[in-house]
Amino acid sequence: MSVLIDTIDVTGLVKEDLFNTGIQAVTEVSSSGSLIIYEREIQNLQMDLLGGLDWGWLTLAVMDSLQALSMVIGATYTLNYEGVPFLVRFRTEDSPAVLGEKIIVRSNQADTDYYNNITLKLMGA
């Protein structure tokens, strides 16, 4: 199956926190000593796409394209994760939203050079 953000192919990256319930709870103790629990549904769930040391590599050209998407103020994109669409935005408040490490460090990087240990910080829009 494929993974696309907008039209950019990021197949090989894995979505983190697939089993996040989307509920936030806050507790406090009343003046009588009883425990009070407030629960609410969380909107805009965080969802990161990850690549590792030896999987989910992306080229410099793809990383540059993702970086460009992340720099558009207020933009939302369709993340198609293995046939399931999500409306997402880059979590720029948790900057940088696009992370990766060069596999080979050199001064004359080519668009075809690879990055690993990828993290794309996304949030449901």
CB-based contacts of 38: which residues, under 8 Å, 6+ apart? 25, 26, 27, 28
Could you tell me the residue range of the domain that residue 85 belongs to?
3-124
Question: How many CA atoms, within 13 angstroms, populate the side-chain half-sphere of residue 19?
Answer: 0
11-55 pLDDT, tens digit per residue, is 999 988 644 556 778 899 999 999 999 888 766 578 899 999 999
pLDDT of residue 46: 82
56-99 pLDDT, tens digit per residue, is 999 999 999 999 999 999 999 999 998 989 899 999 998 899 99
Predicted confidence band at 4 (pLDDT cuts at 50, 70, 90)? very high
Burial status of residue 118 (CB atoms within 10 A of its CB: 0-12, 13-18, 19 or more): buried
Contact predicate 52/110, CB 8 Å: no
pTM: 0.78
Q: How far apart are CA 99 and CA 47, in angstroms?
A: 14
Number of domains the chain is built from: 1
Contact predicate 61/111, CB 8 Å: yes
Q: Cα 81–116–63 angle (5° rounding)?
A: 65
